Amino acid sequence: MKRLTPYLLILPGGLWLAIFLVVPMVFMASVSTQEGNVVDGFAQTFNFANYTNTLALFQTQFLRSVGYGLAGTLIAIALAYPIAYWIAFRGGARKSTYLLLVLLPFFVSFVLRTVSWKFLLADEGIVLAPLKSLGVLPEDFHVLQTTVAVVGGLVYNYLPFMILPIYVALERVDPRSVEAAQDLYATRSAAFRKIVLPLSLPGVFAGVLMTFVPMTADYVNAGILGGPQNTMIGNIIQTKYLINNDYPSAAALSFTLMAAMLVGIFAYAKALGTENVLEAAAR
Amino acid sequence: MKRLTPYLLILPGGLWLAIFLVVPMVFMASVSTQEGNVVDGFAQTFNFANYTNTLALFQTQFLRSVGYGLAGTLIAIALAYPIAYWIAFRGGARKSTYLLLVLLPFFVSFVLRTVSWKFLLADEGIVLAPLKSLGVLPEDFHVLQTTVAVVGGLVYNYLPFMILPIYVALERVDPRSVEAAQDLYATRSAAFRKIVLPLSLPGVFAGVLMTFVPMTADYVNAGILGGPQNTMIGNIIQTKYLINNDYPSAAALSFTLMAAMLVGIFAYAKALGTENVLEAAAR
Amino acid sequence: MTSAIDLDEVIKEYVSHGEVVQAVKGVSLSIAEGEFFSLLGPSGCGKTTTMRMIAGFEDPTRGKVRLHGQDVTNVPPNKRDVNMVFQSYALFPHMNVWDNVAFGLKQKKTPDAEIKRRVGEMLDIVDLTGREKRRPREMSGGQQQRVALARALVNNPRALLLDEPLGALDLKLRQAMQIELKRIQREVGITFVYVTHDQSEALTMSDRIAVMNDGLVEQLAGPREIYEQPASAFVAGFIGTSNLLAGTLAGGVLKVAGGRVLVPGGQDGEVNVTVRPEKITIDVDEPTQNVSAVPGTVAEVVYLGTYNSYAVRLSDGTEVTVFQQNANDATITAERGDAVWLSWQPQHSYAIGS
Amino acid sequence: MTSAIDLDEVIKEYVSHGEVVQAVKGVSLSIAEGEFFSLLGPSGCGKTTTMRMIAGFEDPTRGKVRLHGQDVTNVPPNKRDVNMVFQSYALFPHMNVWDNVAFGLKQKKTPDAEIKRRVGEMLDIVDLTGREKRRPREMSGGQQQRVALARALVNNPRALLLDEPLGALDLKLRQAMQIELKRIQREVGITFVYVTHDQSEALTMSDRIAVMNDGLVEQLAGPREIYEQPASAFVAGFIGTSNLLAGTLAGGVLKVAGGRVLVPGGQDGEVNVTVRPEKITIDVDEPTQNVSAVPGTVAEVVYLGTYNSYAVRLSDGTEVTVFQQNANDATITAERGDAVWLSWQPQHSYAIGS
């Protein structure tokens, strides 16, 4: 019995991964090489051309998604860092209240928020129409259906997942070590660069993990705020699955995306040391 | 200048809330009492009948959503608590690795995971077809298009947001206080009920905050895994917004849902003490 | 009369990184009813593990634990009639003082009226009446300490186990609490088992002390015997300040750095001789009586209020510490750089194995 | 010669919950070049705030801070030629020992070769050679303490500020580090300003001590004067153990509980007289000489290794503590319950305002 214990301990975790990670992925991998259609059914033919074909066809959207994901992630860092910094170091006794204020908007459903922004920013909507009639903006100015709108939407929707881990990492930086750096002749900016920034990087990394993947796979923002020029790979996959019923192509695309993301995450976590990242993510 | 400082300090937080919370909500409130259609345009007529009409019409879906949200939240607690407990108290030095394993599946995009389950669990799919042909299950057995499938999907997709805060709360329980309870004649179960459970409640509460709202407003799971009998209010809102273009009704529904959620959250946070909840949520 | 606590060749092994580590390597003890017994030693010596086996939090790998003659080796902690005061108090943070103290009685299904009476009395003893509604985090370290004590004592345990209970307090408070603890022990008459790494704490309070090192008891005796007749170099070094003089003993006399050390009853051969700093007299002239006498030079004089501490360097380089009570204004009998003679009575030299 | 550090009527006010709180209520000090100067007091007395104003982390509300005669009141910490050793060390957790110690020199753009030489020498002084690549969390408390010391000293500051640097260490290590710190201070010859709440630490190491209480300096003097001639009841109570006898002084004599206390030069009237426990002799017979003599009953004898502590209860209920060095086997001259006479030389009675 005692000898079996280690294996028994692995069992629940293994089952968990098997059911929630391995099974869907294996199934998706299997579908991705099938051929057929929804009327006649699908058959496994190990048709790897699904991959090459869809990738060739949707290369633009694929690269665009990664590009939007990267841009969104970088902008989110740029916005989240000062906010998290301010709360962690200047928030004083009210830290948690400030954090509540910052996170409050995000308790409201994702899609509802995004749709309401679509109306607010519509070409003849409440914001742009008066400005246009006043002549402040040209008549053909528009916000929606642009890259700016989609990336803005991504940032807006995933910002809290960047703020939280950065806040947690900053909150754990001992303010005395900053004082120590200043005592050792570092200017405020040097103390930030040499002490605060490196110590907060695990939080930034955790934030990247938590935002880059969903941003890249997102389809809601492109669907609502974007135009035909902003279609992301998530939209393609969704259309193929739900409207075209072209399951193999959709699976091939999904699988490629997912595999790329997982490889990226693992490489990233490995490079940083899993412990650091998770510690930052978990606390 | 010094006198202005407190107001200046409030400014960024106030702006944040104004832009990301108040503006969308006010706009939505305004739209919700308008009349018209997408061709002729909408006009503000303070038509509060939008509320009463839509609520009367979609009462079933409204109640169903809240019911699904509640059921999903309760099941998520029941699943998440033992997992979080095990990692926090039995995880030893490998705590963060276990946490990674548990969270790993959730780095994969929400919709992709859900869709792959739809295929796995299809009536003639890879799981049910063999069982049916072996006679283990009756021919008309199905998983999809049932309440079980939708609630299961909700639980599956939001589970990590329940596990994380509970884990964080449990991880902060001093194991010595459990020993102290046992030393003071408490059985293992009494020590759990009197010490661990009350100390972990803020984590459970934070988990409820993070899962109940998005579960109730969710439309992806009902759309993919459910049938006509499982339509949630999120699906109605989405259809009204994106397909029917019936903005006022959609806004009225959204606003009602959002307001109900926010009131619930505030009442909840107030009852528990904001500090406790946020402390648990933030760390 | 049976003793309160018996440990019978208790061994505790852990598996750490695939290797078996013995935290406690075979400890046998008998603690008498009503005794104030201390387990003293450096961190990692096994003293806390030993106490945790008495409380029931650890199962001995081998050996027996008996409470009042009854074998409790496999009895869980909630069924043992001993209570523990934890190092960091381990108070229940979500309960107020009253509920913390009443916890054990409630678990034992004591009638409400009796709980009320006993908790009230106990809070009175530890001087916390009027603070029943406070939460632990709203209290100072000393107050938390008293809550922890009350929470354990209110159950009238047959023995109280204390795991470095004063470690988190500052000096003045620690000294006050030492006196307080000793007073409470005398009042309630319960056996106290006290784990500490602070030798002065152990000396002040204990009836008997077990000095532990590396999983074993090195010496078990009263404070005076432990201090005056250390059984090993480890005990001599760990308890207080000790001077160690090494050399070859011949005919009860050790020749050291131009002086002589008398070691009555010492075995001839290579020896280490210890002498306590407060036993040594410092003088300019060579003593004429039949005492141990060694010449040296004062390397440092440190004024410490109650006493002065001299560091005297012998011609062979050994440094000897001498304490001299600051009994009047003119106590400092030598200055830095002075050549002096150190002398002490023969009975204060102890030969211990090297 | 200008002094190293001057504080000129320095006041520090905070706003807390809308009320102005004075943490430091007007402190003036002159610390000499090369001096070991301690700020001693209980927590909240303003000693740390005072030091932080010297370092530049806090701006005084009023008053001036001068370093070597130069007004630095508004100079930021990175432009002040003093370095600080923080209470919890505040080492940089993401840097190894070498990078921690080299930090200040790198910030000052010191040439690489010189950094290499000076960091190497410094690590040698604090005995950490060979551990350059360790991270702070991989080291023991004592080692971290030495890294913190090296990180500050390597910059050759004109003064070193130490904020309870030994507070996190255990007793044995603390004592060893006290000696080590004093040695390093003598070697490098730098002014040390040392903040502590531990009176024995301050007595052991300091050239001069400023005893602070409630934002003010109560006494500023050498260790011996602070101990032997406390300026106030607060100082007498805070530094060591002190007995307090109250009564009416008439003609230099205080009648107490059937005995007499001689207070030469004391003003007649209501007084508090202090006497240190180690000045008192305990005897069965009434002393015949012209000394202070008070009868009482031994309430408790505590054996403490180097000395015995007696608690003697006088007939008016006052408890007097007496220390007696454990110089030979037969030191305990009285047992619990014995009637004894306490006596001490007239010059050891100090009258302080009540």
Neighbours of chain C (3+ CB pairs under 8 A): B, D
Least confident piece of the model among B204-213, C41-50, D86-95: B204-213
Residue D63: pLDDT band with limits 50, 70, 90: very high
**C120 and C151, same structural domain?**
yes
D139 within some domain: yes
Residue D65: pLDDT band with limits 50, 70, 90: very high
Ordered DSSP codes for C30-91: EE-TT-EEEEE--TTSSHHHHHHHHHTSS--SEEEEEETTEE-TT--GGGSSEEEEBTTB--
Contact assignment for D329 to C306 by CB distance below 8 Å? no
Hey, which residues 196-235 in chain A have their CB within 8 Å of chain D?
Answer: 198-199
Q: Determine the Cα–Cα distance for residues D122 and D115; give it in Å rounded to an integer.
A: 10
Long-range contacts of D98-101 (CB under 8 A, 24+ apart): D98/D123, D98/D132, D98/D133, D100/D136, D100/D147, D100/D151, D101/D147, D101/D150, D101/D151, D101/D154
Q: Determine the Cα–Cα distance for residues A86 and A73; give it in Å rounded to an integer.
A: 20
B23 within some domain: no
**C295 and C217, same structural domain?**
no
Contact assignment for D224 to C328 by CB distance below 8 Å? no
Domain at A241, CATH number: 1.10.3720.10
C-beta neighbour count of D166 within 10 angstroms: 24
Of A252-266, B83-97, D44-58, D330-344, which one has max mean pLDDT? D44-58
Chain D nearest-CA distance from C229, in A, is 11
C199: pLDDT strictly greater than 90: no
Phi-psi region of A101 (alpha: psi -120 to 50; beta: other; left: phi over 0): alpha
C71 within some domain: yes
Strand order in the sheet with C159-163: C82-85, C159-163, C191-196, C36-40, C208-213, C216-221
Chain D residues in contact with A180 (beta carbon < 8 A):
84, 86, 90-92, 151
Q: Pick the last residue of a domain from C177, C209, C233.
A: C233
Contact assignment for A17 to B105 by CB distance below 8 Å? yes
Residue with the two structure tokens 């070590």: A177
pLDDT at D353: 62
Which are the contacts of C208, defined by CB distance < 8 A and separation ≥ 6? C35, C36, C37, C38, C220, C221, C222
A44 within some domain: no
> For the CA atoms of C295, C296, C301, C304, what is the dihedral angle to 10 degrees?
-50
Domains contained in chain B, number: 1
When scoring B184, B196, B197 by the number of chain C Cβ atoms within 10 A, the one with the most, hence best to mutate, is B184
Residue C101: pLDDT band with limits 50, 70, 90: very high
Strands C159-163 and C191-196: parallel
Percent of all residues in chain A with a pLDDT value above 70, rounded to a whole number: 85
Contact D305, C240 (CB under 8 A): yes
Contact assignment for B107 to A16 by CB distance below 8 Å? no
Hey, which residues 53-112 in chain A have their CB within 8 Å of chain B?
Answer: 86, 95-105, 107-112
Residue A54: alpha-carbon gap to chain centroid = 23
pLDDT 10s digits, D108-119: 999 999 999 999
| Phi and psi angles of residue B75, each rounded to the nearest 5 degrees, phi first | -65, -40
Neighbours of chain D (3+ CB pairs under 8 A): A, C
pLDDT at A282: 39
Q: Check if C330 contacts D (Cβ < 8 Å).
A: no
Q: Pick the last residue of a domain from D211, D233, D255.
A: D233
**D259 and D122, same structural domain?**
no
The partner residue sitting opposite A185, judged by closest CB among D87, D94, D104, is D104
Beta bridge partners of residue B44, listed in sequence order: B34
Q: Count Cα neighbours of D88 within 13 Å in the Cβ-side half-sphere.
A: 9
Tokens of C102: 């009443």
D239 within some domain: no
Pairs of CB atoms within 8 A across A/B: 171
Q: What is the ipTM of this complex?
A: 0.73
The partner residue sitting opposite A179, judged by closest CB among D90, D94, D107, is D90
Q: Check if A181 contacts D (Cβ < 8 Å).
A: yes
C-beta neighbour count of A169 within 10 angstroms: 26
B145 within some domain: yes
Domain at C299, CATH number: 2.40.50.140
Least confident piece of the model among B138-147, D49-58, D83-92: B138-147
**C256 and C180, same structural domain?**
no
Domain at D17, CATH number: 3.40.50.300
When scoring C107, C118, C145, C155 by the number of chain B Cβ atoms within 10 A, the one with the most, hence best to mutate, is C107
Which are the contacts of A84, defined by CB distance < 8 A and separation ≥ 6? A163, A166, A167, A170, A203
Q: Check if A260 contacts B (Cβ < 8 Å).
A: no
Strands D82-85 and D159-163: parallel
**D139 and D20, same structural domain?**
yes
Q: State which residues form the domain around D110.
A: 3-233
Beta bridge partners of residue C273, listed in sequence order: C245, C351
Contact assignment for C93 to B177 by CB distance below 8 Å? yes
DSSP B107: G
Strand order in the sheet with D5-16: D19-31, D5-16, D62-67, D70-71
Chain B nearest-CA distance from C154, in A, is 10
Residue A5: pLDDT band with limits 50, 70, 90: low
pLDDT average, residue stretch D94-103: 94
Contact assignment for B20 to A257 by CB distance below 8 Å? no
Give the global pTM: 0.77
D92: pLDDT strictly greater than 90: yes
A14: pLDDT strictly greater than 80: no
Contact A208, A277 (CB under 8 A): no
Of A13-17, A118-122, A235-239, B230-234, which one has max mean pLDDT? B230-234
B4: pLDDT strictly greater than 90: no
Q: Pick the last residue of a domain from C171, C202, C233.
A: C233
D240 within some domain: no
DSSP C274: E
Q: Check if B92 contacts C (Cβ < 8 Å).
A: no
pLDDT at C330: 56
C-beta neighbour count of A3 within 10 angstroms: 6
B12 within some domain: no
pLDDT average, residue stretch B175-192: 93
Look over chain D and give the mean of its residue pLDDT values, rounded to a whole number: 89
**D122 and D8, same structural domain?**
yes
User: Of C282, C176, C276, nearest to C229 (Cα)?
Assistant: C276
Contact C77, B179 (CB under 8 A): yes
Residue C104: alpha-carbon gap to chain centroid = 29
Residue in chain B lying closest to C99 (CA): B194
A15 within some domain: no
C-beta neighbour count of C75 within 10 angstroms: 14
Q: Count Cα neighbours of B109 within 13 Å in the Cβ-side half-sphere.
A: 29
pLDDT 10s digits, D149-178: 999 999 999 899 999 888 777 777 788 888
pLDDT average, residue stretch D58-85: 93
User: Of A158, A168, A160, A166, nearest to A283 (Cα)?
Assistant: A168
Contact assignment for A111 to B234 by CB distance below 8 Å? yes
Chain C residues in contact with D36 (beta carbon < 8 A):
none
Q: Check if D183 contacts A (Cβ < 8 Å).
A: no
Chain B nearest-CA distance from A184, in A, is 30
Contact B109, B116 (CB under 8 A): no
**C219 and C259, same structural domain?**
no
B65 within some domain: yes
pLDDT at A254: 80
**C267 and C174, same structural domain?**
no
C240 within some domain: no
pLDDT 10s digits, A71-120: 999 999 999 999 899 888 887 777 777 777 777 666 666 666 777 777 77
D238 within some domain: no
C-beta neighbour count of D321 within 10 angstroms: 18
pLDDT average, residue stretch C230-246: 86
Q: State which residues form the domain around A227.
A: 50-282
Contact assignment for B112 to A258 by CB distance below 8 Å? yes
D84: pLDDT strictly greater than 70: yes
Better-predicted residue by pLDDT, D222 or A6 = D222
Q: Determine the Cα–Cα distance for residues B152 and B150; give it in Å rounded to an integer.
A: 5
Chain C residues in contact with B176 (beta carbon < 8 A):
86-88, 90
pLDDT at A192: 93
Q: Which amino acid is at B40?
A: D
C238 within some domain: no
In D180-306, DSSP assigns E strands to 191-196, 208-213, 216-221, 243-250, 253-256, 259-262, 269-275, 281-283, 292-303
Q: Check if B177 contacts C (Cβ < 8 Å).
A: yes
**C271 and C218, same structural domain?**
no
pLDDT average, residue stretch D299-321: 89
Better-predicted residue by pLDDT, D269 or D98 = D98
Which are the contacts of C74, defined by CB distance < 8 A and separation ≥ 6? C59
pLDDT 10s digits, C112-144: 999 999 999 999 888 889 999 998 888 888 889
Domains contained in chain C, number: 2
A41: pLDDT strictly greater than 80: no
Chain C nearest-CA distance from B185, in A, is 4
**D256 and D224, same structural domain?**
no
DSSP B21: I
**D257 and D344, same structural domain?**
yes
Percent of all residues in chain C with a pLDDT value above 70, rounded to a whole number: 98
SS3 of residue D7 by DSSP: strand
pLDDT at A1: 39
pLDDT at B280: 42
Contact D14, D23 (CB under 8 A): yes
A161: pLDDT strictly greater than 90: no
Contact D85, D163 (CB under 8 A): yes
Pairs of CB atoms within 8 A across C/D: 90
